[in-house]
Every structure is written in C-alpha cells, then in structure tokens.
Amino acid sequence: MTDPAAAPILAATRIRDRAYGERMEGIVADGLSEEAPARPVEDGGAVDALAQLEEVIHAAGSAAAWAAAAGISPAYVSDVRLGRRAPGAAVLRALRLQRVVSYVPVGEARP
C-alpha cells in the first residue's frame, strides 16, 4: 500500500519518466542510439559560457536586469558568475547554449 502523501511525488515521477521516454524515442527515431551523447562529435568551436554570460549581462546593463529578462533568479546568476554553481539548464537556455561533455585520453592536454 502506498502512502497517500507520496501520491503527488509518484505522479510527478511518472510524468518525468514518460517525458524522458518520449525524448529517448525521438533520439532513436532520428537514427541515434541512447549512447549518442558519449560518441565523439566534430568540434564546432567551444564557447566560454561564463564569458558569454558576462557579455549579455554587460549588454543588459546589470546582472539583475539580465536575470529578470531571462526569468532566472538574480541570486542564481550571481552564484554562476562567482563559480559557486555551474551554469544549469535555465542559464544555458537563455544563452542559447548546450552543455557538451568530451573525453580525452589520460595525459593528453585539453585543447
């Protein structure tokens, strides 16, 4: 028997899992496997997300103004700028960036 207090959490988990499954089906339908993120990709030119964040903040006039326009908490933007938190989905989406992970053999210098 399930605890009635857990029902909303279980419902949210089912919704999340269904959405994840639909995304994975889309990836497989596009001819990629679920392993696609670990495969090497051609480097189209890495972008320094923090430098780009600073540029858009400068263009907006202040971090608070940019955060408000992007719908992101000013405190979160401050934490990202100070290195306390990595730029997450909300910041990356506002910057029109995506996080890409790459792997290099041990001992090789990063580009």
Query: So where are the chain's domains?
Result: 1-38, 45-101
Stated pTM of the model: 0.54
R_g over Cα of the chain: 19
Q: What value does the mean pLDDT take over residues 23-37?
A: 48
| pLDDT > 60? residue 74 | yes
Average pLDDT of the residues of the chain: 75
| pLDDT > 90? residue 47 | no
- Give Cβ neighbours of residue 46 (< 8 Å, ≥ 6 apart): 100, 111
Question: Two tokens at 84?
Answer: 């306390």
| pLDDT > 80? residue 76 | yes
**Exposed / middle / buried, residue 33 (Cβ in 10 Å: 0-12, 13-18, 19+):** exposed
Phi and psi for 74 in degrees, rounded to 5? -60, -35
CA–CA distance, 89 with 80 (Å, rounded to integer): 12
**CATH number, span 45-101:** 1.10.260
What percentage of the chain has pLDDT greater than the value 90? 40
The whole-number pLDDT of residue 102 equals 79
- Give Cβ neighbours of residue 23 (< 8 Å, ≥ 6 apart): none
